[in-house]
Amino acid sequence: MHPLPDTMQAVKITQPGSPEVLKIQQRPLPQKKEDEVLIQVYAAGINRPDVMQRAGLYPPPSGVTDIPGLEVSGIIVSVGSKVMNWEIGDSVCALVAGGGYAEYVNAPGSQCLPIPKGLTFREAASLPETYFTVWSNVFDRAQFSEQESILVHGGSSGIGTTAIQLCRALGRKIFVTAGSDEKCRACEAIGATKAINYRNEDFVERIMALTDNQGVNVIIDMVAGDYIQRDLKCLADDGRIVIIAFLGGVKTNINMTDILRRRLTITGSTLRPRSTQFKSDIALSLRNKVWPMFEAGIIEPMIFKSFALEEAADAHRLMESSEHIGKIILDVCEK
């Protein structure tokens, strides 16, 4: 193993604003804690929270680096004294609280996962943020069970394509919304029961028609705003809405009658500020229940496009355009 450098290239948010504020700069190598590993980053995923952080709407938690990036893949180059299950040279992907847009990043050892056999570093970098988020919200928080149905807004996003594949693999009925006929076809091609083009169809009417006027049991909503009242109308009795983002706004007016009369639940969560133990529990579930699906070829990463680290601004422009189907990746180090 070559000696580690003192500095690294990283993407800095020079000020809150448009993608142009993302600039490459030299930063000191991060200093790991006892329960962390230092990863030489080969690839990093782009996610909506990164865009929100760049715009000044989603600051990192206290004590977390200002470098954006929530998921990486790469090689472990240093191991903390309390990390028992990883060694220098191991190939991993990891969920991090920040710092992914850099040549090196620290990650708690318990938030690292082996790269599934047959996957590239680029593919592995597309997994942690979306699979942690989907597993936590769909199966843990919403308690989505067999014989139930689910609606996921933003079906062609990283979250959406992940949810589609997982639900298909588990034999669950999943409906999604997307913004074009092309995106709808792509969602159905990977397993969506039905994709609804929200630009020219009323998703409430379509869901009720598709479910014999019963409604769906679970809705994963990354839009919020005015969508929430519409969500309530297409929920089955005892249905659950899980809000994971608010692209449509943070405020809305809702009619409380149906919530009481039909025992509906509105909840939500954000992953980044949760404890290491919480994230470690999700990592264990993924390793036991989902990673074997990758190795069996039942599910696979969906990557739309990759960019070099110095092209992070272009990657953010693509994310904000919503033209992508699947994940956007930064290629960080030469492999």
Domains in the chain, number:
2
2 in any annotated domain: no
Where residue 226 sits, what CATH number does that domain have? 3.40.50.720
User: Average pLDDT, stretch 20-27?
Assistant: 98
Q: For residues 257 and 277, state if they share a domain.
A: no
Instruction: Report DSSP letters for 39-87, one per residue.
Output: EEEEEEEE-HHHHHHHTTSSPPPTTS-SS--SEEEEEEEEE-TT--S--
For the stretch 240-262, what's the b/e string if a residue is b when 16 or more beta carbons lie within 10 angstroms of its beta carbon? bbbbbbbbbeeeeeeeeebeeee
**Is pLDDT at 3 greater than 90 in this prediction?**
no
Structural domain of residue 155, as residue ranges? 131-268
Radius of gyration of the CA atoms of the chain, in A: 20
Question: Could you tell me the two tokens for 247?
Answer: 């692209």
Both 192 and 114 in one domain: the answer is no
At 1, is the pLDDT very low, low, confident or very high (cuts 50, 70, 90)?
low
Instruction: Determine the average pLDDT of the residues in 181-201.
Output: 97
Asked if residue 54 belongs to a domain, the reply is yes
> What is the average pLDDT score of the chain?
96
Report pTM.
0.94
Asked if residue 48 and residue 108 are part of one domain, the reply reads yes
Q: Return the DSSP state at 138.
A: I
Residues 264 and 145 in one domain: yes
pLDDT, tens digit (0-9, with 9 covering 90-100), for 250-273: 899 998 999 999 999 999 999 999
Q: Are residues 253 and 315 in the same domain?
A: no
Q: Is there a single domain that holds both residue 37 and residue 22?
A: yes
CATH code for position 291: 3.90.180.10
pLDDT in tens, 66-115: 999 999 999 999 999 999 999 999 999 999 999 999 999 999 999 999 99
Considering the domain architecture, whether residues 206 and 114 belong to the same structural domain is answered as no
Tell which of 248, 268, 288 closes a domain: 268
